[in-house]
C-alpha cells in the first residue's frame, strides 16, 4: 500500500484529502505545518511514496521550501503541490505544471484521486 504525507495548515483540508485518499486505498499521514512535515521526514526518518503539500502555509517552512529540503534529503522522494492561494503567474509557481505537479483548490474527490494516481503512474513508467 502506497504511503502519502499530506501537508496543509487547514484541518478541514487534511481531513478531506485523508478521507478521499484512504478510501482510494492509500495509507495517509498528516502534518499541519511544513515544520511538522520536515520533522517527520528528517528526524523521524519516515519515508513516503508521495508528499502532497500546500504551497502557502504559515510558519518557517512553506510548501516550496519543504519540497526543496525533502529533495535534498532524499532525491527519490516525490513531492507535489496543491494550492488555493497561489495566484496564476506567481513567480513562486514557476516550473509547476497544473495537473502534473500542482492541483488547484478547491477540487473534487475524483480530481484528487486522478492527480495522485497520475503521480504513481509517472513513477511506474519512468
pLDDT at 91: 53
pLDDT score at 44: 79
Give me the phi and psi of 102, to 5 degrees please: -135, 130
DSSP structure class, residue 43: I
pTM of the model as a whole: 0.90
Q: Find the helix packing angle between 109-125 and 11-23, rounded to 10°.
A: 60
> In 3D, which of 75, 87, 29 has the Cα closest to residue 53?
29
Model confidence pLDDT, tens digit, residues 6-20:
999 999 999 999 999
Whole-angstrom distance, CA of residue 56 vs CA of residue 46: 23
Q: Which of 8, 47, 10 is nearest to 31 (CA)?
A: 8
Task: Please give the class, per CATH, of domain 3-125.
Answer: alpha beta
Write down the pLDDT at residue 47. 87
Query: Residue 54 in contact with residue 7, Cβ under 8 Å?
Result: yes
**For 24-83, what is each residue's pLDDT tens digit?**
999 999 999 999 999 999 987 888 999 999 998 888 999 999 999 999 998 888 999 998
Amino acid at each position: 500500500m502506497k504511503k502519502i504525507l499530506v501537508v496543509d495548515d487547514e484541518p478541514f483540508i487534511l481531513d478531506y484529502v485523508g478521507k478521499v485518499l484512504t478510501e482510494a486505498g492509500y495509507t495517509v499521514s498528516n502534518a499541519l505545518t511544513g515544520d511538522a512535515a520536515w520533522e517527520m521526514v528528517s528526524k523521524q526518518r519516515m519515508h513516503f511514496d508521495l508528499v502532497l503539500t500546500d504551497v502557502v502555509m504559515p510558519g518557517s517552512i512553506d510548501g516550496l521550501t519543504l519540497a526543496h529540503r525533502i529533495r535534498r534529503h532524499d532525491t527519490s522522494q516525490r513531492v507535489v503541490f496543491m494550492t488555493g492561494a497561489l495566484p496564476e503567474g506567481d513567480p513562486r509557481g514557476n516550473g509547476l505544471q497544473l495537473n502534473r505537479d500542482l492541483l488547484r483548490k478547491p477540487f473534487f474527490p475524483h480530481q484528487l484521486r486522478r492527480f495522485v494516481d497520475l503521480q504513481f503512474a509517472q513513477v511506474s513508467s519512468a
